Amino acid sequence: MKAERRKGGAGRFFQRMYLALVLLFLYAPILTLIVFSFNASKSRARWDGFTLRWYAELFRDPDILNALYVTLGVAVLAAALATVIGTLGAIGIHRMRRRSKALWLLVNNVNMLTPDIVIGVSLMLLFLFFKLPLGFFTMLLAHVTFNIPYVVLSVLPKLRQMNESAYEAALDLGASPGQALCKVVVPEILPGILSGALLAFTLSLDDFVISFFTTSQVQNLSTLIYSMAKRGINPTINALSTLLFAAVLLLLLLLNKRVDLAEQR
């Protein structure tokens, strides 16, 4: 009995060691990047003292600031547009007959399953075909396109859970279809809409491949980092990475806390 427990302890130790090693593999590169973002020398191997110089340069660099605005602007606009189109789309698809429902769900899935690089080049072909100059606007169109399917798929399950009679009851009680939609259907499916919007926003923030093919001069953070990284290592990218990592960490902690609170309630 005792021996068995000791064996269990050794097993648990091994398991913890294994997880720690995998986490070390996942985090060591990021942590190195963070540490060297505070390094006074430009060297990547020697520590020359603490500095905030790279952060100061970051906030003075017009290209980086501009890319930040583009990234946020595209993400907010694309998420908003995709949420409206996707939510209406989901409500419509939900009411469709079997055949057309299957067709539009298939189109939705084709969009989701097509590799990013193919979506990127196909949209680039479309924009060039219609002589649209590649820039902020085309990037926005592309982001809305890859966001919509995720909104549809977040809203549809909520619609399936909804009681169909609620909408009809509202109509019977004298609500116009628009009122019934806004006051009965939307509040019911709101969690789905919100998670779809959040997903769209984060997907848009994170995208590189599709942005890369659908813009030329206007850069978002991803395409900017790519062109900077191709030219070589640059301490300002380290500083930028650190800030982005901190932002993601904060967001995830906040979300997790919200989930915790919701679970307690």
Partner 1 sequence: MNRKYLAAPFSLWMALFTIVPILLVAVYAFTDAGGTFTLENFSKVLDPLYLGVLLRSVGMALLCTLICLVIGYPAAYFLAKKEIDPRGALVLLFILPMWMNFLLRTYAWLALLESNGLITSTLNRLLTLLGAEGEVRLLYSYGAVLMGMVYNYLPFMVLPLYTVLSKIDPRVVEAAQDLGAGRAQVLSRVVLPLSLPGVASGVTMVFMPAVTTFVISRLLGGAQFKLFGDLIEQQFLFTGDWNLGSAMSLIMMALLLLSMGLMKGFGDKEERGQDA
Count residues near partner 1 (CB under 8 A): 82
Question: What is the rounded CA–CA span in Å between residue 124 and residue 262?
Answer: 43
Measured CA distances, 40 to 34, 48, 49 (Å): 13, 5, 5
Report CA torsion sign: 153, 157, 159, 164: positive
Binds partner 1 (CB under 8 A): choice among 38, 58, 86, 210: 86
Tell me if 206 contacts partner 1 by CB under 8 A: yes
22 CA to centre of own chain? 25
Residue 132 · residue 138 · CB < 8 Å? yes
Long-range contacts, 248-253 (Cβ 8 Å, 24+): none
Window 27-66: contact mask with partner 1 (x via CB under 8 A): x-xx-xx--x------xxx---------------------
CB nearer partner 1, residue 52 or residue 246: 246
Residue 89 · residue 152 · CB < 8 Å? yes
CB nearer partner 1, residue 66 or residue 216: 216
CB nearer partner 1, residue 51 or residue 241: 241
Chain residues 234-253 in contact with partner 1, contact rule CB under 8 A: 237-238, 241, 244-245, 248-249, 251-252
Minimum distance from CB of 209 to partner 1 (Å)? Answer: 7
CB nearer partner 1, residue 34 or residue 51: 34
Binds partner 1 (CB under 8 A): choice among 140, 152, 197, 218: 152
Minimum distance from CB of 94 to partner 1 (Å)? Answer: 8
Buried b (16+ CB within 10 A) or exposed e, 222-255: bbbbeebeeeeeebbbbbbbbbeeeeeeeeeeee
Tell me if 96 contacts partner 1 by CB under 8 A: yes
Q: Which residues pair with 50 in a beta bridge?
A: 39
CB nearer partner 1, residue 59 or residue 179: 179
Minimum distance from CB of 207 to partner 1 (Å)? Answer: 9
Minimum distance from CB of 50 to partner 1 (Å)? Answer: 17
